[in-house]
A and B are shown apart, each in its own frame.
Chain A
Amino acid sequence: MTNKRIIHQPIQPEIQELAAEYGNDSESILSILTRLQELHGSLSPEIITDAARALSVPAHQAYGMATFYSMLFLEPRKQIVHVCDGPVCWTKNAAATHKAIEAIANDDWTVERASCLGLCDSAPAVLVNNEQAGPVLPEDAAKLLEGWRGTPNGYTTPRKGEVRAMMANAGKVDPKSIDSALEHGAYDGLKKALGMTPEAVVAVVDASGLQGRGGAGFPVGRKWKFVAQARNTPKYVICNADESEPLIFKDRVLIETNPHQILAGMAIAGYACGASEAFIYIRGEYAAQARLLEGAIEQAEEKGWLGDNIQGSGFSFHVHVHRGAGAYICGEETALIESLEGKRGEPRLRPPYPPTAGYRGLPTLVNNVESFAAAANIVRNGADWWRSLSDYETPGTKLYILLGPVENPGLFEAPFGLTLRQIIDEFGGGMLPGSEFRCALTGGAAGTIVDETLLDVPIDYASGSRYGISLGAGAFMVCDQTTSPVALLQVLLHFFAAESCGKCTPCRVGTWRSKEILTRMVNGQGQPGDVEELKALADHMQSASFCGLGQSAGVPMNSAIQHFAQAFEKAANG
């Protein structure tokens, strides 16, 4: 009946030493748990408790994390295959791939589902012990377990109609070599910025009209100004590379093609805002991309483009790569900051917003990877250049992702204001023979499901609320007559239910309940009243959830039901 047993047991020396390696810093708990899991094959309550004690945090905090992040686990495993069950992989029959791998895997292997892996252009995608692979068809299962990983896409040649700024050097720059990046002027923007006042740098970004690329389109210059004007110090810069929303993989491509462009953008932001320390929060599933960034940072430090006293300017800027461990919600900026601080990735109450009180309660700039990449080019070439890239009211270019049964899916860069028809026909080469447009999921999983009535609306950050077709992070998944909008919505709600952090009631229960109803409907067991309940759930999640995840889960629900009322009624009433 006493608690002496726990208190007087010494912490296992191995854990003690590991913690010491990280300076017993409680913020390193995620890294330490990940390392311990690698060593032991899994985590146990004893390991977790000792790790917590070594870092002087409550045991529940470490346990709460171990059970929060999907890449941490308590059941022993040797080798793991994660098969994506995101919407794109679903249309490519990833379920068959899953079964095929299970069928041939021996007892050393665990085969599990995963939420969208950010490899939608290689669907069906899998992770083999954290190595990315795809497309993996059922017949590739044996090869896969023997080390075959498929062929990644390069995006080195622009397609017709593309305007490339952030992708301009894709294929020209060797992402592993800073010399190659320097030849292409990777740090020219930073060099230019260091010769200006920080205020002037903010002014250039502000004048460019650049809008944040994480999905919400908040003006980047204005955010930089908030951070620059915040009184408390030190300040921090965070690059949001969590990219866990189904359909989205543009930040991965930016990292893979030109990592120094992103680092330069971050350093420029640091100089403009008065920050000397920065983090790249990258989703745990992007292990290869994290290594690429770490290598780039090391080289940049060697060449004096990062680190102390950059090019003798007196400005220092240190960038750390922080790996997530499987949680979509960690893309939400306050959840990201919680995660960075060594906690469960649950969003914070706002205000205060990160520019006032973010990481460690201090002024923090959070921008998306693409935002930093754009900023690097804007400072290098000027605001006018950025505006000259397009005649559309939203300046500059955007990375687009096109998926589904079109001739030429993938990623491209183009100005704003494209219509869905242009995206499909002009950039995607039209629908595949035999495929007819039925619906599209636009923006991302948290976007809108639209029918052909919205094919000709110019899409930008305002078109979502204005016309009901959202841009989000710029992804478009086109579906043909073989895809039922009800089934598509079920897959999305499966995602939201799996990724809801659980903090607030409407999202925690609402995503789960919506998924339950939709699953029934898809299985031919719909009931009268299902559609009304789905609508009520969508409205409730939208208006009462704590954060953007729950609020946006209602968006695809409401738009799908609006555009495909008949299909939903039919599924409900059998």
Chain B
Amino acid sequence: MTVNITINGQKIQAQPEQTILEAAREHGINIPTLCYHKDLSPTGNCRICMVDVKGARFLQAACATQVWEGMEIETHGEKSIVSRKMTLEMMLANHPVDCLTCEANGDCELQDLAYEYRVEVPEWGTKGTHYPVDSDPNPFIFVDFNKCILCRRCVQACAEIQVRDVWGVAQRGFDETIVAGADTTMLEARCESCGQCVAYCPTGALTSKISRGLGRAPQVTKVTTTCTYCGVGCQLDLNVKDGKVIGVTSNPDAPVNGMALCVKGRYGWDFIHHPDRLTKPLVRQYLLSDQPKPKGKLGEWVEVDWDTALDITARKLSHARDTFGPDSVGILTSAKCLNEENYLMNKFARQVVGTNNIDHCARL
């Protein structure tokens, strides 16, 4: 069963459970949103999506109003436009205009809407800076609630996706603010630093601390790849600038994980260009010259090719097995390997070496 509705004069068949917004988006009609996100349950907080429904006394929130048979909707009538402009003005009135240095510049839903609706900060924007910048010591997440529009997407992302319930809403009315726990630090409020809240924040209120100052959305190339950390295989976007990875962002189309990532996938990318990172096999000097293991200092590391390194490994493993028996060898595999690779290591341990001493780091 479908429901016949009209949006901006266009006749549309919608599903009975759909909201105005869902039906409109399905047919390529744009209605702006801020507090709404398709992954989160609708709240109707921000009031940017207000549309004119024929016969209704007031404007209706498209994100939270279900369609009904015969509904006639204007998404960009004069009343809606005036209302949206005023709502945006109200948000901007409490928002420092430092897009020049803001991390979110170019990737900010508030900025985009201000641009689209030609709204400037009103002269009466008097609230000014109200909260300390960088107010939380979390090592990965930079918090600046001066830029918060109180859409509460962070609250919902943490509660509904990460199920940690770190963020909440405190105070009321104009003094309303987002807090972690009982106004503690995020970590004290059970934060796992997964960055879901950052990914869902439409403004520059929550951003990545470790990418700060390294480059902004318009300057980076996004390279979609699979996280190397574990077998879940989350997809993510490496943000690359001048040939260097400067951050990781969620890829909304990721089939396994959607917008979600864990702290390692989202913030554990500094190894990529780290000077300590091993990029070539290294062996100790004494192993190359077939000398016995020296007492005390083990000597220098020497860069070799893979064949050399693997030959030495095979030789030492065979020696250990032949001299001390197969159970003198133990094998630990990694969650960073594919299932197939882990399977092969299992075969290798049991059939080649002949031991059951095999384990996996995911158990630790």
Do the beta carbons of B83 and A60 come within 8 Å of each other?
A: no
A505 within 8 A of B: yes
Select from chain A the residue with minimum beta-carbon distance to B89.
A509
Select from chain A the residue with minimum beta-carbon distance to B50.
A544
Contact digits for A481-507, partner B, Cβ 8 Å, 1 yes 0 no: 000000000000000011111111110
CB contact list, B178-229 vs A, under 8 A: 179-184, 187-191
A contact residues around B96 at 8 Å (CB): none
A2 to B193, CA, bound (A): 11
B74 to chain A, nearest CB (A): 13
Contact digits for B292-321, partner A, Cβ 8 Å, 1 yes 0 no: 000000000000000000000000000000
A353 within 8 A of B: no
Given the known interface contacts A1-B187, A3-B188, A48-B182, the answer about A344 and B44 at a Cβ–Cβ threshold of 8 Å is no
A34 to B175, CA, bound (A): 22
Do the beta carbons of B171 and A68 come within 8 Å of each other?
A: yes
Instruction: Tell me how many residues of A have a C-beta within 8 Å of chain B.
Output: 51
User: SS class of chain A's interface: helix, strand, loop or mixed?
Assistant: helix
A426 to B184, CA, bound (A): 60
Do the beta carbons of B184 and A59 come within 8 Å of each other?
A: yes
Do the beta carbons of A540 and B86 come within 8 Å of each other?
A: yes
A6 within 8 A of B: yes
A558 within 8 A of B: no
CB contact list, B244-302 vs A, under 8 A: none
Do the beta carbons of B169 and A508 come within 8 Å of each other?
A: no
Contact digits for A51-87, partner B, Cβ 8 Å, 1 yes 0 no: 0100000111111101110000000000000000000
Q: Give the number of residue pairs across the A-B interface with Cβ within 8 Å.
A: 158
**In-complex Cβ contact of A502 among B166, B174, B182 (8 A):** B174
A211 within 8 A of B: no
B contact residues around A504 at 8 Å (CB): 44-47
A contact residues around B64 at 8 Å (CB): 349
B87 to chain A, nearest CB (A): 5
Contact digits for A233-253, partner B, Cβ 8 Å, 1 yes 0 no: 000000000000000000000
Do the beta carbons of A508 and B166 come within 8 Å of each other?
A: no
Do the beta carbons of A45 and B90 come within 8 Å of each other?
A: no
**In-complex Cβ contact of B173 among A2, A49, A511, A543 (8 A):** A511
A510 to B91, CA, bound (A): 11
Select from chain B the residue with minimum beta-carbon distance to A7.
B190
Select from chain A the residue with minimum beta-carbon distance to B66.
A351
A546 within 8 A of B: yes
Given the known interface contacts A1-B187, A512-B173, A546-B47, the answer about A60 and B90 at a Cβ–Cβ threshold of 8 Å is no
Binding site for A on B (CB under 8 A): 42-48, 50, 58-59, 61, 64, 66, 79, 82-83, 86-87, 90-91, 93-94, 124, 126, 139, 149-150, 155, 159, 165-176, 179-184, 187-191
Binding site for B on A (CB under 8 A): 1-3, 5-7, 45-46, 48-49, 52, 58-64, 66-68, 327, 344, 349, 351, 497-506, 508-513, 516, 536-537, 540, 542-546, 551
Q: A344-B169, A502-B172 are in contact. List 14 more A-B contacts (CB 8 A).
A: A48-B182, A59-B181, A59-B182, A60-B155, A60-B165, A61-B168, A327-B172, A344-B172, A502-B175, A502-B176, A508-B173, A508-B174, A543-B58, A544-B83
